[in-house]
Amino acid sequence: MTYLDHAATTPMHPDAIAAMNAQFALVGNANSLHGPGRAARRVVEESREAVAAALGARPSHVVFTGGGTEADNLAVKGLYWARRAEDPRRVRILAARIEHHAVLDALFWLEQHEGATLDWLPVRPDGSVTAASLEAALAAEPQTAALVTLMWANNEVGTVLPIRELAEVAHRRGVPIHSDAIQAAGHLPVDFAESGLDALSVTGHKLGGPLGVGALLLGRETKLTALQHGGGQERDVRSGTLDTPGIAGFAAAVTAARAEQPEEYLRLCALRDKLIEGVLRTVPDAVLSGPPLSEPGAKPDSESADRLPGIAHFCFPGCEGDSLLLLLDARGISCSTGSACSAGIAQPSHVLLAMGSTEELARGSLRFSLGRTSTEDDVDALLEALPAVVSRARAAGLS
């Protein structure tokens, strides 16, 4: 099997499996006052410290959630409500149409139900958003801005946004900024304190941890209205009994990812560039999405990366992405069209459309994503299968 869909979910790190296995058979609610409860609490707090250390945050910044979508919803809705409660004029949310649906659909919901106005920042053809465009949008009517939300790195095409610059602009205007760093956290040196962000979403299963657990890193002074009410376990902004095994696994994964990141970054960049070069060589009319390739011989630097090391996204003109996926799947190669599905029906990717792609070209999109277990053999298997698959999909055409 050739698994090239690590951006959808990636295998668990052995450290995470071990950490979870150590917890499964134990009893204890981290909020109970007795011995087993204290033992669970200790695991949770050590995990919190580990997550914080790995992501450049303080333990008190870490709000554990049930995954990335929850973290995004909590950030976007919670910040909006808190900001508007302080000043009813603050109803404008600055964002870009490249966001993941976890943010995008939360924004649309706020627009439909909570009177939010969505101010879309221009997206450049490479998928990026500039600090200058944010500055211009904020300068127009700074008093109406509720929050800014801009992802750290895009999940479909892999473009990395200049988060530090964007956060600086937002702060100059006194507007809180959230970033969905779900794809970035495992692959780039994501540092909460250094980023200047007020809120940052991460999730376990994209970086070698378990499904169903994530965190919102939230500034200590940042006001946020709770979404989910109950025991108030996490700073009173997130309720629910803490998932001790999941949190332990998440912490182990993020720790391992961070430790391995400098080397893994270089290894994945080399694999990704080999994949990109191979695809463009074997299918000359394939269109690489995202930033242009860096000069041959340029030394990859994760601090200044403009694309994620693990994502290579293409459009294959005249092909249906679904056909490509089916044909590759039949050959044991797993990848993604990268676009959202409703009832399994592919829609042209909103990310590609935001980047200025035509609907027709967007229909032929395919995302290959690499991770910790990816090897040269995976890339070779893809490159061997791809030319025949593309010509066959092209014959099937756009239905």
Partner 1 sequence: MSGGVDSAVAAARAVAAGHEVTGVHLALSRNPQSFRTGARGCCTVEDSRDARRAADVIGIPFYVWDMAERFHADVVDDFVAEYAAGRTPNPCLRCNEKIKFAAVLDKAHALGFDAVCTGHYARIVDGPDGARELHRAADPAKDQSYVLGVLDARQLAGALFPLGDSLKSDVRAEAERLGLAVADKPDSHDVCFIADGDTRGFLAERLGTAPGRIVDSSGAVVGEHQGAYGYTIGQRKGLRIGDPAGDGRPRYVLDISPVDNTVTVGTAEELAVDALDAGHVRWCGPRGGDGFDCLVQLRAHGEPVAASARYDADADLVTLAFGASVRGVAPGQTAVLYDGARVIGSATITATRRAAAVAGA
Residues that bind partner 1 (CB under 8 A): 322-323, 326-327, 329-330, 342-346, 392-393, 395-397, 399
Q: Which is nearer to partner 1, 267 or 392 (CB)?
A: 392
Residue 147's nearest CA partner among 211, 208, 72, 204 is 72
- Residue 230 or 387 with smaller CB distance to partner 1: 387
Least distance between partner 1 and beta carbon 103 (Å): 24
Distance CA(172)–CA(86), nearest Å, equals: 19
Instruction: Report the residue number, 225 or 334, with the smaller CB distance to partner 1.
Output: 334
Give Dmax (Cα) for the chain.
67
3-state secondary structure (DSSP) of residue 288: strand
Contact status, residue 325 vs residue 292, Cβ threshold 8 Å: no
Please state the closest distance from residue 283 (CB atom) to partner 1, in A.
17
Strands 177-180 and 199-203: parallel
Which DSSP string do the residues of 289-320 spell out, in sequence order? Answer: -SSPPPPTTPPP-GGG-SB-TTEEEEE-TT--
**Residue that is written with structure tokens 């499964």 in the block:** 24
> What is the closest distance, in whole angstroms, from the C-beta atom of residue 343 to partner 1 in the complex?
5
Q: Has 269 been annotated as catalytic?
A: no
| Cα(289)–Cα(158) distance, integer angstroms | 9
- The smaller minimum CB distance to partner 1, of residues 226 and 328, is found at 328
Smallest distance from partner 1 to CB 392, Å: 6
Least distance from partner 1 to the Cβ atom of residue 342, Å:
8
Minimum distance of partner 1 from residue 273's CB (angstroms)? 30
Using CA atoms, how far apart are residues 335 and 310, in angstroms rounded to an integer? 13
Q: Which residues pair with 369 in a beta bridge?
A: 5, 311
Cα(392)–Cα(30) distance, integer angstroms: 56
Which of 18, 398 has the CB closer to partner 1? 398
User: 269, 315, 335, 341: which one is catalytic?
Assistant: 341
Q: Quick one: 37 exposed, middle or buried, by C-beta within 10 A (0-12, 13-18, 19+)?
A: middle
Residues serving a catalytic function are: 341
